[in-house]
Amino acid sequence: MEMDELVRRDLMDINEYLQDPCGKLSIPYWKNKTLVIPDSIRIIHCRDWNGQYSDFQRFFRVKHDLRDLCPIDFDYDTLSIDYQTAELSEMINESYGHENIVVNEKDILKWKQHETFREDLCVYINADGGKMVASGIAELDETCREGVIEWVQVLPEYRKRGLGKKIVDVLLWRLKGIEADFVTVSGNLDNTSGPLELYRKCGFTGDDIWYICRV
């Protein structure tokens, strides 16, 4: 069975997944239960990749065991999805403009409907004057105790100051505090902002790369 076929299975055995989360699926376990992959898309793990498709993007998926976390010695706040949607959507769009990622307030409110959503896993950092300059959102799958970092963004003019790492560190501590067993994150390997480097600095490990191909 090819790795892309595993993504199409509605009910992968949870024990099979937990043996190697980042190598078994390109997405978190809870998403795999409902996601439908279009026939025009193939998702292939790097161990099965032989260059068979020319139109593809590469995504890393790495894992943190929630050990040896960095101390939190800075101020941050919890996001209110109900009341800060406009500010958050504007910030995400500005932060990911180079990747043509666009979200609106309705998109953000839909995240709140996820079975894994927790508002205490939505955090941000303000600059002087109260402007939101860095933020992050994580989720918790209670079925397999998996924490998932979904969004981490820093405004372009505030990058290279360690704010992204601070957001990730806060999310890791909060996930550990609500008894997640491990945390996963994925991202575009070829993003010019270098997200994989950020997660390496935060203690994430693994070398799983998934090819998302159009056929």
d(CA 79, CA 135): 8
5, pLDDT greater than 60? no
pTM for the whole structure: 0.91
Alpha helices in the chain (DSSP H): 3-7, 14-19, 21-24, 29-32, 85-95, 105-111, 163-177, 195-201
Residue 65 domain-assigned (yes or no): no
Q: What is the mean pLDDT of residues 95-121?
A: 93
Residue 129 domain-assigned (yes or no): yes
Residue 139 domain-assigned (yes or no): yes
Residue 44 domain-assigned (yes or no): no
pLDDT value of position 100: 84
Residue 194 domain-assigned (yes or no): no
Return the CATH number at 166.
3.40.630.30
Residue 56 domain-assigned (yes or no): no
Whether the CB-CB separation of 137 and 119 falls below 8 Å is answered with: no
Strand partners, 139: 148
Q: What share of the chain is helix, strand, coil (3-state, %, to 5)?
A: 35, 25, 40
Q: What is the mean pLDDT of residues 102-113?
A: 95
10, pLDDT greater than 60? no
- Residue span of the structural domain in which 102 resides: 77-182
Q: Which residue has the tokens 């993007």?
A: 57
Structural domains counted in the chain: 1
2, pLDDT greater than 70? no
